[in-house]
Amino acid sequence: MVLERYEPLVEDSEAFRAACERPLPSVVRVNTIKATVERVRRALAAADTDAEAVDWNPRLFRLSTDRPGNTWPYYHGWIYGQEEVSALPALVLDPQPGERVFDPCAAPGSKTTQLAALMDDRGTLVANDNNLGRLSALRSNAERCGVTNLAVTNTDARTFSLKPFGAPKDPPGADGTGSPAGEPFDRALVDVPCSCEGTVRKNPDALEEWSLDHVRGIAGLQRGILERAIQVTREGGTVVYSTCTFAPEENEAVLDAALGATDCRVVPFETPLETRPGVTEWNGETYDEAVRHARRVYPHLNDTGGFFCAKLEVGA
Amino acid sequence: MTDGDLAENRSHVFERLPATDAERTVGGRPSREAVLAWWDDRFGVPRETFAEHTFWEKGAGKLWAYAGDAPDPADLEALGMVFLRVRQEHWKPTTDAVQRFGRAATRNAIELDGAAARRFVAGEDQELPWDGDWGYLIAVHRPPGREGDRPEPLGVGLYVHGELRSQIPKGRRREIDRAER
């Protein structure tokens, strides 16, 4: 079994294994562009849907229904179905209203719409995905949530260009300020495609296609995406790297490569979740000590899916 | 200037709406002023509602409302939200636009009770009394648990001949669970 390879990394492998076998509750995030937490709480209660607030994030509710899509709050775009732990990286990125934010692997949009809400739908949120079909899902999800600060592109994130947003210094506006459209980003959320082992509680089939070749192949893609995102983020800007896999090849090894190839550093961050530090040794490989600042979330620690999250500062 | 003197709409890129009709360079393209006036005239949605948004056309008659920065023209897949269909006799707002901007509507908004609201979002047409204008209306309801509040927009209905025809796109239609009184 695939997950056995990670048992040396977790202290309590029995709890780890047991948690991976339990299904996850249905969780929704309040879309604060269209509704308040209180409004959603009352609407769910009126729908006879038990909603339990998630202690570490007041905008999340665990629901008693597994069909939140057939409720008024969903129809109105007040809620968005999102796995609890996947709400973490946008909070770590902490985008501010008015900033320029990049989401290179955006579809189908749970984290993108969360970023837009954290930005109060102000500023510029560039959402990219290489898959046109998935982009169409992203667009309809964003429009249902009432997001209007989104610019959507369809390219390979490894070669993403700021050109469609105009050159940084021109055209000079009539008022002499110039267009900020082509400037580098303040922040980027690099939530890459991965082997998805951490979603096994949601999709028990997630491990069926697993192979070490696939892990190695996708790690190359992840490195390319992360390095490009760092290049298009301004000096002093923030990049968050996240996956839903336990594989160090796709996590710490990718950070280690980015530290070697670009001007950035891995920085510590606070999280309300129970986590473990990034690992510096795996299968005979060693990684930069700084990857310890990354956080690993194992399913048994908070009764969530599995996750990996790192915060980087550019050019510091 | 007549439309004959103007450039044709380039449907594959985003181009910003001119501020006023006098500044038009593309035939058939409404001005920002005309769009603001339309929301105000038709629904009583105040102009300030769109103060933070720029308006763009991509695709024939498809208008987008966007809150961020972009060059003009912009070669992108999407920019903000599709919010209005023009270049047709009766302009038609989108479902998502009336949900986002239509809370401020004071006219041509038809309030539906619980059963009618459920039928409406399931995509059904229904016979309903209505004293106002025919044409595109904003359908609203008071969601359970929020009866005391201002009604919440559901989407767009076409009212003709005593019938409200739901314009909810297929992908947005829902059978709302009946547990909700």
Task: State pLDDT tens for residues A233-246.
Answer: 999 999 999 999 99
Domains detected in chain B: 3-96 (no CATH), 108-172 (2.30.130.60)
Chain-chain contact of A148 with B81 (C-beta, under 8 angstroms):
yes
> What is the DSSP secondary structure assignment for residue A291, as one 8-state letter?
G
The answer to whether the beta carbons of residues A147 and B81 sit under 8 Å apart is: yes
Domains detected in chain A: 2-24+84-314 (3.40.50.150), 25-82 (3.30.70.1170)
Chain-chain contact of A70 with B177 (C-beta, under 8 angstroms):
yes
What would the mean pLDDT of A6-12 be, rounded to a whole number? 94
For residue A125, what are its two tokens?
């949120």
Residues of chain B contacting residue A179, judged by C-beta atoms under 8 Å apart: 69, 71
Q: For B54-75, write each residue's pLDDT tens digit.
A: 999 998 899 999 999 899 999 9
Chain-chain contact of B68 with A151 (C-beta, under 8 angstroms):
yes
The per-residue pLDDT for A205 is 84
Phi, psi torsion values for B103, nearest 5 degrees: -60, -25
Q: Band of the pLDDT at A172, cuts 50, 70, 90?
A: very low
Q: For B140-181, write each residue's pLDDT tens digit.
A: 999 877 666 789 999 999 999 999 999 999 999 999 987 644
C-alpha atoms less than 13 angstroms from C-alpha of A189 in its C-beta half-sphere: 31
Q: For A80-101, write each residue's pLDDT tens digit.
A: 999 999 999 999 999 999 999 9
Q: Band of the pLDDT at A139, cuts 50, 70, 90?
A: very high
Q: Which of A196, A244, A264, A309 is catalytic?
A: A244
Active-site annotation holds for A145: no
Lowest mean per-residue pLDDT among A124-128, A180-184, A195-199, B15-19? A180-184
CA distances from A89 to A110, A118, A237, A315 (A): 11, 12, 15, 21
- Measured distance CA(A310)–CA(A106) in Å, rounded: 18
| pLDDT for residue A169 is more than 60 | no
The answer to whether the beta carbons of residues A40 and A27 sit under 8 Å apart is: no
The per-residue pLDDT for A175 is 45
